[in-house]
Structure 1
Amino acid sequence: MSFDPAKPSLISTLVRHYDDLVDHVRRRFGDRGFAREVVHDVCVQLLEKREREDVRTPLALLRKISHDQAVSRYRSERRRQALIVALPDLSEPVCEAPLPPRQYEAAREFERLAQAIAQLPPRCQMVFVMHKIHELSQAEVAAQMGVSLKTVEKHLRLGLAACRAYLDDTDLHAMELAQ
Protein backbone atom coordinates (compact mmCIF):
# COMPACT_ATOMS: atom_id res chain seq x y z
CA MET A 1 0.00 0.00 0.00
CA SER A 2 1.48 3.31 -1.04
CA PHE A 3 1.10 6.45 1.03
CA ASP A 4 -0.38 9.50 -0.67
CA PRO A 5 -0.02 12.63 1.51
CA ALA A 6 -3.05 14.15 -0.20
CA LYS A 7 -5.18 11.20 0.98
CA PRO A 8 -4.68 10.72 4.72
CA SER A 9 -5.08 7.23 6.15
CA LEU A 10 -7.90 6.42 8.53
CA ILE A 11 -5.47 5.88 11.42
CA SER A 12 -3.74 9.22 10.90
CA THR A 13 -7.15 10.90 10.63
CA LEU A 14 -8.28 9.22 13.84
CA VAL A 15 -5.14 10.39 15.65
CA ARG A 16 -5.48 13.94 14.29
CA HIS A 17 -9.21 14.17 15.14
CA TYR A 18 -9.24 12.03 18.28
CA ASP A 19 -10.82 14.70 20.50
CA ASP A 20 -13.43 15.53 17.84
CA LEU A 21 -14.41 11.84 17.55
CA VAL A 22 -14.62 11.48 21.34
CA ASP A 23 -16.81 14.59 21.54
CA HIS A 24 -18.99 13.30 18.70
CA VAL A 25 -19.70 10.06 20.63
CA ARG A 26 -19.98 11.89 23.99
CA ARG A 27 -22.65 14.27 22.66
CA ARG A 28 -24.81 11.30 21.68
CA PHE A 29 -24.18 9.02 24.68
CA GLY A 30 -23.25 11.46 27.44
CA ASP A 31 -20.23 9.75 29.00
CA ARG A 32 -16.70 10.85 28.09
CA GLY A 33 -15.12 7.62 29.41
CA PHE A 34 -17.52 5.56 27.31
CA ALA A 35 -16.71 7.72 24.28
CA ARG A 36 -12.96 7.22 24.75
CA GLU A 37 -13.41 3.45 24.97
CA VAL A 38 -15.44 3.47 21.76
CA VAL A 39 -12.82 5.48 19.87
CA HIS A 40 -10.08 3.18 21.21
CA ASP A 41 -12.07 0.17 19.97
CA VAL A 42 -12.34 1.80 16.54
CA CYS A 43 -8.58 2.37 16.54
CA VAL A 44 -7.96 -1.30 17.36
CA GLN A 45 -10.36 -2.34 14.58
CA LEU A 46 -8.49 -0.18 12.09
CA LEU A 47 -5.13 -1.59 13.17
CA GLU A 48 -6.38 -5.16 12.83
CA LYS A 49 -7.94 -4.72 9.37
CA ARG A 50 -6.40 -3.78 6.07
CA GLU A 51 -6.63 -0.08 5.18
CA ARG A 52 -9.40 0.90 2.76
CA GLU A 53 -8.01 2.70 -0.29
CA ASP A 54 -11.09 4.42 -1.68
CA VAL A 55 -12.10 6.61 1.29
CA ARG A 56 -12.86 10.17 0.14
CA THR A 57 -13.88 11.62 3.50
CA PRO A 58 -12.05 9.71 6.25
CA LEU A 59 -13.37 11.84 9.11
CA ALA A 60 -17.00 11.24 8.08
CA LEU A 61 -16.32 7.50 7.85
CA LEU A 62 -14.65 7.48 11.27
CA ARG A 63 -17.64 9.31 12.77
CA LYS A 64 -19.99 6.72 11.27
CA ILE A 65 -17.84 3.79 12.47
CA SER A 66 -17.56 5.36 15.95
CA HIS A 67 -21.31 5.93 16.14
CA ASP A 68 -22.08 2.35 15.06
CA GLN A 69 -19.55 0.97 17.55
CA ALA A 70 -21.05 3.10 20.33
CA VAL A 71 -24.58 1.90 19.54
CA SER A 72 -23.44 -1.71 19.53
CA ARG A 73 -21.57 -1.30 22.80
CA TYR A 74 -24.49 0.56 24.43
CA ARG A 75 -26.96 -2.18 23.44
CA SER A 76 -24.64 -4.89 24.68
CA GLU A 77 -24.21 -3.09 28.01
CA ARG A 78 -28.00 -2.67 28.38
CA ARG A 79 -28.55 -6.41 27.75
CA ARG A 80 -25.91 -7.26 30.34
CA GLN A 81 -27.45 -4.86 32.88
CA ALA A 82 -30.94 -6.27 32.22
CA LEU A 83 -29.61 -9.76 32.91
CA ILE A 84 -27.97 -8.63 36.15
CA VAL A 85 -31.17 -6.90 37.29
CA ALA A 86 -33.25 -9.99 36.43
CA LEU A 87 -31.06 -12.40 38.39
CA PRO A 88 -32.27 -11.45 41.92
CA ASP A 89 -35.79 -12.45 40.86
CA LEU A 90 -34.87 -16.12 41.13
CA SER A 91 -37.21 -17.65 43.66
CA GLU A 92 -35.17 -20.72 44.59
CA PRO A 93 -31.47 -21.13 45.20
CA VAL A 94 -29.66 -22.68 42.26
CA CYS A 95 -27.71 -25.12 44.41
CA GLU A 96 -28.77 -26.18 47.84
CA ALA A 97 -26.22 -27.33 50.38
CA PRO A 98 -26.69 -30.92 51.46
CA LEU A 99 -28.55 -31.46 54.69
CA PRO A 100 -26.47 -32.27 57.80
CA PRO A 101 -27.33 -36.00 57.75
CA ARG A 102 -26.09 -36.22 54.14
CA GLN A 103 -22.95 -34.25 55.05
CA TYR A 104 -22.28 -36.68 57.90
CA GLU A 105 -22.80 -39.70 55.62
CA ALA A 106 -20.49 -38.23 52.96
CA ALA A 107 -17.79 -37.63 55.57
CA ARG A 108 -18.14 -41.24 56.74
CA GLU A 109 -17.89 -42.55 53.16
CA PHE A 110 -14.81 -40.43 52.57
CA GLU A 111 -13.21 -41.71 55.79
CA ARG A 112 -13.90 -45.32 54.79
CA LEU A 113 -12.40 -44.75 51.35
CA ALA A 114 -9.29 -43.17 52.91
CA GLN A 115 -8.96 -46.23 55.18
CA ALA A 116 -9.33 -48.53 52.17
CA ILE A 117 -6.58 -46.69 50.29
CA ALA A 118 -4.32 -46.72 53.38
CA GLN A 119 -4.61 -50.54 53.50
CA LEU A 120 -3.23 -50.97 49.96
CA PRO A 121 0.38 -52.12 49.48
CA PRO A 122 2.72 -49.10 49.15
CA ARG A 123 3.36 -49.32 45.40
CA CYS A 124 -0.30 -50.04 44.62
CA GLN A 125 -1.31 -47.17 46.88
CA MET A 126 1.07 -44.80 45.11
CA VAL A 127 -0.27 -45.73 41.66
CA PHE A 128 -3.86 -45.49 42.87
CA VAL A 129 -3.38 -42.05 44.46
CA MET A 130 -1.44 -40.63 41.50
CA HIS A 131 -4.07 -41.76 39.01
CA LYS A 132 -7.35 -41.41 40.92
CA ILE A 133 -6.60 -38.51 43.26
CA HIS A 134 -4.02 -36.44 41.38
CA GLU A 135 -5.63 -37.33 38.03
CA LEU A 136 -2.41 -38.23 36.23
CA SER A 137 -2.84 -40.40 33.17
CA GLN A 138 -1.68 -44.00 33.37
CA ALA A 139 1.20 -43.16 31.03
CA GLU A 140 2.29 -40.27 33.29
CA VAL A 141 2.15 -42.51 36.36
CA ALA A 142 4.24 -45.13 34.57
CA ALA A 143 6.82 -42.54 33.53
CA GLN A 144 7.07 -40.97 37.00
CA MET A 145 7.40 -44.33 38.74
CA GLY A 146 9.67 -45.86 36.12
CA VAL A 147 7.41 -48.86 35.53
CA SER A 148 5.55 -50.21 32.52
CA LEU A 149 2.03 -49.23 31.58
CA LYS A 150 0.93 -52.83 32.21
CA THR A 151 2.25 -52.61 35.77
CA VAL A 152 0.26 -49.43 36.34
CA GLU A 153 -2.88 -51.09 34.94
CA LYS A 154 -2.33 -54.10 37.20
CA HIS A 155 -1.91 -51.95 40.33
CA LEU A 156 -5.01 -49.92 39.46
CA ARG A 157 -7.06 -53.08 38.95
CA LEU A 158 -5.84 -54.54 42.24
CA GLY A 159 -6.35 -51.23 44.07
CA LEU A 160 -9.92 -50.84 42.83
CA ALA A 161 -10.76 -54.43 43.73
CA ALA A 162 -9.25 -54.05 47.22
CA CYS A 163 -11.09 -50.76 47.84
CA ARG A 164 -14.40 -52.27 46.70
CA ALA A 165 -13.88 -55.31 48.90
CA TYR A 166 -12.99 -53.14 51.90
CA LEU A 167 -16.01 -50.89 51.40
CA ASP A 168 -18.32 -53.89 50.90
CA ASP A 169 -16.97 -55.50 54.09
CA THR A 170 -17.50 -52.33 56.12
CA ASP A 171 -21.02 -51.98 54.69
CA LEU A 172 -21.78 -55.59 55.58
CA HIS A 173 -20.31 -55.14 59.06
CA ALA A 174 -22.38 -51.96 59.61
CA MET A 175 -25.56 -53.78 58.55
CA GLU A 176 -24.81 -56.67 60.94
CA LEU A 177 -24.33 -54.20 63.80
CA ALA A 178 -27.60 -52.45 62.93
CA GLN A 179 -29.58 -55.70 63.22
Structure 2
Amino acid sequence: MPSLSFPLMATLVRHYEELVAHVWRGPVARWSDAAMAREVVHDVCAELIERPPAPPRTPLAFLRTVCTRRAIDRCRIEQRHARWVDSADTLPDAALPAAHDPARILEGRQRLALLADCIHALPPRQRDVFAMHRIHGMAQQDIARHLGISLKTVEKHLALGTAACRRALDQALHDLAAP
Protein backbone atom coordinates (compact mmCIF):
# COMPACT_ATOMS: atom_id res chain seq x y z
CA MET A 1 0.00 0.00 0.00
CA PRO A 2 1.52 3.36 -0.98
CA SER A 3 2.04 5.86 1.79
CA LEU A 4 1.53 9.60 1.73
CA SER A 5 4.70 11.18 0.33
CA PHE A 6 6.80 13.13 2.80
CA PRO A 7 6.73 16.43 0.85
CA LEU A 8 2.93 16.27 0.60
CA MET A 9 2.53 15.36 4.30
CA ALA A 10 4.96 18.09 5.37
CA THR A 11 3.13 20.65 3.21
CA LEU A 12 -0.20 19.53 4.62
CA VAL A 13 0.99 19.90 8.21
CA ARG A 14 2.82 23.18 7.58
CA HIS A 15 -0.03 24.84 5.65
CA TYR A 16 -3.12 23.34 7.33
CA GLU A 17 -4.46 26.66 8.65
CA GLU A 18 -3.61 28.38 5.37
CA LEU A 19 -5.64 25.74 3.50
CA VAL A 20 -8.57 26.30 5.87
CA ALA A 21 -8.35 30.05 5.19
CA HIS A 22 -8.08 29.36 1.45
CA VAL A 23 -11.33 27.37 1.49
CA TRP A 24 -13.07 29.84 3.78
CA ARG A 25 -12.17 32.94 1.74
CA GLY A 26 -11.79 31.20 -1.62
CA PRO A 27 -14.14 30.70 -4.54
CA VAL A 28 -16.87 29.18 -2.35
CA ALA A 29 -16.72 31.85 0.35
CA ARG A 30 -20.37 32.83 -0.11
CA TRP A 31 -21.41 29.28 0.87
CA SER A 32 -18.90 28.44 3.53
CA ASP A 33 -18.03 29.30 7.08
CA ALA A 34 -14.92 28.57 9.12
CA ALA A 35 -16.27 25.28 10.49
CA MET A 36 -17.19 24.01 7.02
CA ALA A 37 -13.78 25.04 5.69
CA ARG A 38 -12.04 23.13 8.48
CA GLU A 39 -14.22 20.06 7.78
CA VAL A 40 -13.37 20.20 4.08
CA VAL A 41 -9.62 20.34 4.76
CA HIS A 42 -9.95 17.55 7.32
CA ASP A 43 -11.85 15.41 4.78
CA VAL A 44 -9.10 16.01 2.22
CA CYS A 45 -6.46 15.01 4.79
CA ALA A 46 -8.32 11.81 5.62
CA GLU A 47 -8.76 10.94 1.95
CA LEU A 48 -5.08 11.57 1.19
CA ILE A 49 -4.01 9.37 4.08
CA GLU A 50 -6.47 6.65 3.06
CA ARG A 51 -5.68 6.77 -0.67
CA PRO A 52 -2.37 8.55 -1.25
CA PRO A 53 -1.92 10.01 -4.72
CA ALA A 54 1.26 10.03 -6.78
CA PRO A 55 3.61 12.70 -5.40
CA PRO A 56 2.65 16.04 -6.99
CA ARG A 57 5.25 18.44 -8.39
CA THR A 58 3.89 21.36 -6.35
CA PRO A 59 2.32 20.00 -3.16
CA LEU A 60 0.74 23.26 -1.94
CA ALA A 61 -0.92 23.99 -5.29
CA PHE A 62 -2.15 20.40 -5.40
CA LEU A 63 -3.62 20.67 -1.88
CA ARG A 64 -5.30 24.01 -2.66
CA THR A 65 -6.87 22.56 -5.80
CA VAL A 66 -8.11 19.42 -4.04
CA CYS A 67 -9.52 21.46 -1.13
CA THR A 68 -11.26 23.90 -3.49
CA ARG A 69 -12.82 21.10 -5.50
CA ARG A 70 -13.95 19.29 -2.36
CA ALA A 71 -15.52 22.52 -1.03
CA ILE A 72 -17.35 23.05 -4.32
CA ASP A 73 -18.63 19.47 -4.27
CA ARG A 74 -19.83 19.87 -0.71
CA CYS A 75 -21.59 23.15 -1.47
CA ARG A 76 -23.32 21.59 -4.47
CA ILE A 77 -24.53 18.69 -2.34
CA GLU A 78 -25.85 21.10 0.30
CA GLN A 79 -27.58 23.20 -2.38
CA ARG A 80 -29.17 20.10 -3.89
CA HIS A 81 -30.37 19.04 -0.45
CA ALA A 82 -31.74 22.52 0.28
CA ARG A 83 -33.61 22.56 -3.05
CA TRP A 84 -35.12 19.20 -2.25
CA VAL A 85 -36.20 20.34 1.21
CA ASP A 86 -37.59 23.60 -0.20
CA SER A 87 -39.53 21.72 -2.87
CA ALA A 88 -41.36 19.79 -0.16
CA ASP A 89 -42.91 23.10 0.95
CA THR A 90 -44.46 23.58 -2.50
CA LEU A 91 -46.24 20.22 -2.55
CA PRO A 92 -50.01 20.42 -2.25
CA ASP A 93 -51.38 19.74 1.21
CA ALA A 94 -53.01 16.51 0.02
CA ALA A 95 -49.55 15.06 -0.73
CA LEU A 96 -48.29 15.76 2.77
CA PRO A 97 -49.51 13.55 5.62
CA ALA A 98 -51.78 15.34 8.05
CA ALA A 99 -50.01 15.72 11.38
CA HIS A 100 -53.13 14.79 13.31
CA ASP A 101 -54.31 11.81 11.21
CA PRO A 102 -53.03 8.62 12.90
CA ALA A 103 -54.00 6.42 9.95
CA ARG A 104 -51.92 8.45 7.53
CA ILE A 105 -49.01 8.58 9.95
CA LEU A 106 -49.14 4.80 10.33
CA GLU A 107 -49.33 4.35 6.55
CA GLY A 108 -46.31 6.63 6.07
CA ARG A 109 -44.33 4.72 8.67
CA GLN A 110 -45.25 1.42 7.04
CA ARG A 111 -44.13 2.67 3.63
CA LEU A 112 -40.88 3.93 5.12
CA ALA A 113 -40.30 0.57 6.82
CA LEU A 114 -41.01 -1.20 3.51
CA LEU A 115 -38.51 1.01 1.72
CA ALA A 116 -35.89 0.37 4.42
CA ASP A 117 -36.50 -3.38 4.09
CA CYS A 118 -36.18 -3.14 0.30
CA ILE A 119 -32.90 -1.28 0.56
CA HIS A 120 -31.59 -3.68 3.19
CA ALA A 121 -32.47 -6.66 0.95
CA LEU A 122 -30.28 -5.37 -1.89
CA PRO A 123 -26.90 -7.04 -2.46
CA PRO A 124 -24.19 -5.21 -0.48
CA ARG A 125 -22.59 -3.30 -3.37
CA GLN A 126 -25.98 -2.25 -4.82
CA ARG A 127 -27.11 -1.19 -1.35
CA ASP A 128 -23.96 0.91 -0.84
CA VAL A 129 -24.27 2.62 -4.22
CA PHE A 130 -28.03 3.17 -3.79
CA ALA A 131 -27.64 4.66 -0.30
CA MET A 132 -24.70 6.88 -1.25
CA HIS A 133 -26.52 8.32 -4.26
CA ARG A 134 -30.21 8.35 -3.30
CA ILE A 135 -29.94 8.97 0.44
CA HIS A 136 -26.67 10.86 0.91
CA GLY A 137 -26.75 12.70 -2.44
CA MET A 138 -23.24 11.74 -3.54
CA ALA A 139 -22.39 12.20 -7.19
CA GLN A 140 -21.87 9.00 -9.16
CA GLN A 141 -18.27 9.95 -9.95
CA ASP A 142 -17.55 10.37 -6.23
CA ILE A 143 -19.13 7.01 -5.47
CA ALA A 144 -16.97 5.33 -8.13
CA ARG A 145 -13.84 6.95 -6.71
CA HIS A 146 -14.82 6.13 -3.11
CA LEU A 147 -15.60 2.48 -3.82
CA GLY A 148 -12.78 2.00 -6.34
CA ILE A 149 -15.10 0.90 -9.15
CA SER A 150 -15.84 2.28 -12.59
CA LEU A 151 -18.54 4.87 -13.26
CA LYS A 152 -20.30 2.35 -15.51
CA THR A 153 -20.43 -0.14 -12.62
CA VAL A 154 -21.90 2.54 -10.35
CA GLU A 155 -24.57 3.30 -12.97
CA LYS A 156 -25.36 -0.42 -13.30
CA HIS A 157 -25.64 -0.94 -9.52
CA LEU A 158 -27.80 2.17 -9.17
CA ALA A 159 -30.16 1.08 -11.97
CA LEU A 160 -30.44 -2.47 -10.62
CA GLY A 161 -30.94 -1.26 -7.04
CA THR A 162 -33.59 1.26 -8.05
CA ALA A 163 -35.45 -1.30 -10.14
CA ALA A 164 -35.30 -3.90 -7.35
CA CYS A 165 -36.61 -1.41 -4.76
CA ARG A 166 -39.37 -0.27 -7.10
CA ARG A 167 -40.48 -3.88 -7.79
CA ALA A 168 -40.34 -4.84 -4.11
CA LEU A 169 -42.26 -1.72 -3.03
CA ASP A 170 -44.90 -2.20 -5.73
CA GLN A 171 -45.37 -5.81 -4.70
CA ALA A 172 -45.50 -4.99 -0.98
CA LEU A 173 -47.99 -2.14 -1.51
CA HIS A 174 -50.09 -4.41 -3.74
CA ASP A 175 -50.09 -7.07 -0.99
CA LEU A 176 -51.12 -4.47 1.62
CA ALA A 177 -53.96 -3.18 -0.55
CA ALA A 178 -55.31 -6.68 -1.32
CA PRO A 179 -58.25 -7.68 0.89
Q: Could you state the TM-score of these two structures normalised by the residue count of structure 1?
A: 0.47
- What TM-score, normalized by structure 2, do the two folds share? 0.47
